[in-house]
Every structure is written in C-alpha cells, then in structure tokens.
Chain A
Amino acid sequence: MKELVIISGKGGTGKTSITASFAALAVHPVLADCDVDAADLHLILQPEIQTSENFVSGHLAEIRSGDCMQCGLCMAVCRFDAIKDFNVDVMACEGCGACVEFCPEQAIDFPEQECGVWHRSKTRHGSMVHARMHPGAENSGKLVSLLRSEIRKIAEKEKATVVLVDGSPGIGCPVIASITGADAVLVVTEPTLSGEHDLERVLQLITHFRIPAMICVNKWDINPKMTSRIEALAKSMKAVPVGRIPYDAAVTDAQVNARALVESSDGAAARAVREIWETIQKQLFAEECCHVTS
C-alpha cells in the first residue's frame, strides 16, 4: 500500500479535480481530504457519511467575571493581545494558558476547544475521511495528521492499494502535516510566474522532508515557454515531471456536474490525466511494478 499526497504550492491549480480523477482511476483507493481549510473533494465525490466525530484540540481561556479582580496581570502576560476589558477575544487567543497560569485569583477557566468535525464516509470510489474546521479555528495541522492516520488505518483494514490525500496549499503548518511520512508527493502547478515561484518553495519543503516528488503542469498551453521552464526547474530539484494537462472547459463542467473529469469527459484534459495516472503508478510502485494492473 502506498500513500500519494497531491499538493500545490499555490491554491486553485486543480489539485482537487485531479485527486478526484485519480480516485476514479485507481484500483482500490482510499481517500483523505486534508485541504481542511477549503475542503472541496466531497463536492465531487458526494460521500455518504458513516460516522462523525468532533475534533477537539487545544484550549481557550475564559475569564469568570465574578471571580476576576481586574488586576490586569493577564493582559500583561498575554502576547497575543487577546484580552480586552477582561474578556477573552476567542479569535486572538492562542490557547497558551499563560493567563490561566499567572492569574492570582485563578479566575480563568481553560476548557478544551472544539475546532471542527470530521467524518468517515463511503464514496463511489472508496472510503474517505474528510473534515470541516469551525470558522477561524486553529490546529488545522493537527487535524490533517489525524485524518491521515485514520485513513491509513482504514486502508490497512480494507487492504487498499493506494491512499490518495488531497493536501493543503502553502508551505506552513497544514502542508507540513500533509506530507510528512508520505511515499510520494505530486505537485500540481500552473505555467505562471507565481506558479514557478511557489513550486520552487514547495519543492524545497519536500526536499527538506526527503519525500520523492513528481510534478504536473495544469493549463500548460496558456504559456508553453513557462511550462518548459517549470519542468526544467523541477528536474533540477529532483522532482519528476509526469505530464501536462491542457486548458479545457470540461474541467469546470465536470465540477459543476459533481463528476471527476475522467468520469464525464474523454477530451484532451481527461486523456492527459489518465496518462499521468499511469506514469505515477509506475513511479509509485516501481519496485513492485509487476503486480500493478489498471
């Protein structure tokens, strides 16, 4: 069983559409939507939720006004300006507990924080875990780690061949949690100056964690010259280019119809995604390629 994480230095490059297509093409996949900030995979895969659990992580300070002597020490120790007029601004509170520790009246409670809800589900292509963060909630990195460990358990139980993870954008906390320990990463990028810049940063991150990386260029024909430049950059950073997807209105149409691209189209983009999946499988299962069928 192999775990492939699909990420993009930059958001909106087509990561989720590609993940959904891989889900349709893979033999026995299980799926995790770890883009917890903008979880969209469920819009295509229409999961049937089997179980739901609250995601509880970290704490939030709460001043009991009846016991508060308004000495102001809490404000002095809070580095996040989260206390105003002896009330805690939940959007600013970092959950460090400094105010709780140093309040001379012990007038500050520190309840556990409910950050979101996560689900185990069934889809037409396999089991899936996904989540929804509460607005403004913290600890998305921890939620990502939880989702990945759950889907690996499910994969083992079901003897799945591949775990597909729709990862998070950026290079910070959630994406670090998305890729650590994965077998391979596919970076979806676009042939733009910012796409090139973000790819370079995210490949530095992947190298830092020593994970084999592949890249594909979406909407490559918008700027063929930049596509070549991006592929050369990838190679120089030891990432393997696995294909190019042309600009194709069928991608948006598939989204609108809640289908994966390869389920609803046989056009140029769908064909490109099929080829990319074949190439990825060969990379992913290189040492056991004789067992791979598709």
Chain B
Amino acid sequence: MKIAVASGKGGTGKTTLSCAMAFAVQEEVTLLDCDVEEPNSHFFIRPEIESREQVCRPVPAVDSAVCTGCGECARVCRFNAVVSVGKKTLVFNELCHSCGACIRICPTGALKEIEEPIGQIETGRRDHVRFVSGRLDVGQAMSPPLIRKTLEHASPDGLTIVDCPPGTSCPYVTAVKACDAAILVTEPTPFGLHDLKLAVETIRDLGVPFGVAVNRVTDEAHPIRTYCEAEGIPLLVEVPEDRRAAEAYSRGESINSVMPGLNETLRAVPEKLKAML
C-alpha cells in the first residue's frame, strides 16, 4: 500500500509525520521523498546512501543542417517552447513539457530528443526504512517528471510512505494520484483550516481515500475537529504542541524520541487507511 502524506500548505508537518511513521512501524517500509523542490526527510532518516542516479527528461534539439524552417514544430507546441524565426528553429527547454508533439510532427527528422538532466534520486537505508529521495536541480521549473520517476521506486507490495509536495497544483496531484490512500496534515489555525479545505476539495476530485492528521494541537476542541466531524473525515492522528518537538525538529531528530506515546498511534494509521480502501 502507498500512503501519501500531503497538505494544502507547507510547514504543517508532512515530513515530521512521514519520518515518524516510518520509524514507528515495525515492518519493512519504503519512504519516498517526493517534495523534490525542498526534500528534507533525509535529515531525519539519516540513511546510508547506497546509490545516486541522475534523472533526465526528453527535450527537443534541432539539427540545423536538416531543418528547413517549415515551422510545423512551433505550430504544434502549446507551450511556446519551440519557436520558428525565419529559417531558424529555437528551443526553450524551460518551457518544454516533454510531450513529444514537435518530434512526431517534424517532416524532415531535424528534431531529435535529447536527455536533459533535471535532478537526482538518492537511494539508501536506515534499519527497516528503505529511503528514496528526489531532488530537483535549482533553476528547473518542472518537478512532475522527477516526481514520477521517484514514485517508480515504491515497494511493489510492501508499505510505502510518500512525503508529498505542498500545495494543490500539479506537483501535489502528480504525487497523490499515484497513491492508494492519503493523510492530509494540517494545523489547528485559520490558515491550516483554510488550506485543508482546498486540499480536501482536490483530493475528492482525485478519488483517493483519505484521513486527517493535526499537528501542534493545543486545545482538544479545535476548528479542524469540528470541520472533520461535519464532513465525515476520519481524524487519524493528533500531535500535541510541544516545544521539545520543535527543538528536536530543528536538530534534525525525529519526534518519536520526544513523544514515545505517538508510536502506537502512528503504527495503527496504515491499518486504519487499509480499512477505508
């Protein structure tokens, strides 16, 4: 089973929860860090890195000796990534979505696909946690191709926890859609509630079963609880506000050590989600 750990908004505790859950479960587990713009889970897992691979995506390149400047490639490109000026064809990689339409349409074979590096995937292990993390190169705009590659490392039949990118747009959708179930992490504040509602709306469109985890709870009667009860959303985990947790996080330590009581709750989460499938 693949469990997405997601949130509408950043900084709510996705990484904290993903890592704490990976440590809490006793079985072999794979942790995929798909927050490729800002991957952070390695600070907490501290894995022994066994391998690194470069990830590329296909972009077109022009053989100007063959190009007749017919402009068909520029016509089919919806992203203005291929431009035809007089007899010259120019490619702007940062706008390219790698759809391949220009390659397919080119009547002379002047366009070829070359591989452009966009980031790396690191693989490693710490005890029972198999660790895989994608990291986007700085200056690259498109994270979904790297997210898709990282997701290919999910365990085929065991448990996989996916630390997802924040937000509700393409990177979030790419990661969550590939999972069997999701945990939406939020905070009991007006910002948290507002962004949770957006994340819920998106995940309902995706049709992925989900529950909610609330981080930094100070008061049992919080607005997230009221919202979840009204919407019939299961509240899977509540993590109490604790300065020690913030301090542990700042040092790159998983919160399991300062909140041992949380282990049992977290261990039960995959079962709870499985029951919802």
Contacts and interface: CB of A to CB of B under 8 A. Distances in A.
Interface stretch (B5-13, B227-235, B267-275): B5-13
B78 interface: yes
Interface of B: 8-12, 15, 37-38, 40, 43, 76, 78-79, 97-101, 104-105, 136, 138-143, 165-173, 177, 187, 189-191, 194-195, 198, 201-202, 205-206, 243, 246-247, 249-252
Q: Is chain A's binding surface mostly helix, strand, loop or mixed?
A: loop
Given A11-B11, A43-B190, A77 B100 contact: yes
Interface in A13-62: 13, 16, 36-38, 40, 43, 58-59
B76 A97 contact: yes
Given A12-B10, A38-B198, A133-B168, A197 B43 contact: yes
Contacts of B177: 91-92
Contacts of A10: 10-11, 38, 40
**Top 5 closest pairs, chain A to chain B, by CB:** A11-B10, A12-B11, A37-B167, A96-B99, A135-B202
A194 B10 contact: no
B78 A194 contact: no
Contacts of B8: 37-38
A56 to B, nearest CB: 14
Nearest to B215: A12
Given A59-B78, A96-B78, A172 B141 contact: yes
B206 A176 contact: no
Of B9, B38, B104, B166, most buried by chain A (CB within 10 Å of CB) is B38
Interface stretch (A64-72, A145-153, A250-258, A281-289): A250-258
B78 A255 contact: no
Contact of A12 (B9, B43, B243): B9
A169 B166 contact: yes
B38 A255 contact: no
8 contacts: A40-B194, A58-B78, A96-B78, A171-B37, A173-B142, A193-B251, A201-B138, A219-B246
Interface string A76-101: 01011000000000011011111001
A106 interface: no
Contact of A136 (B76, B136, B169, B190): B169
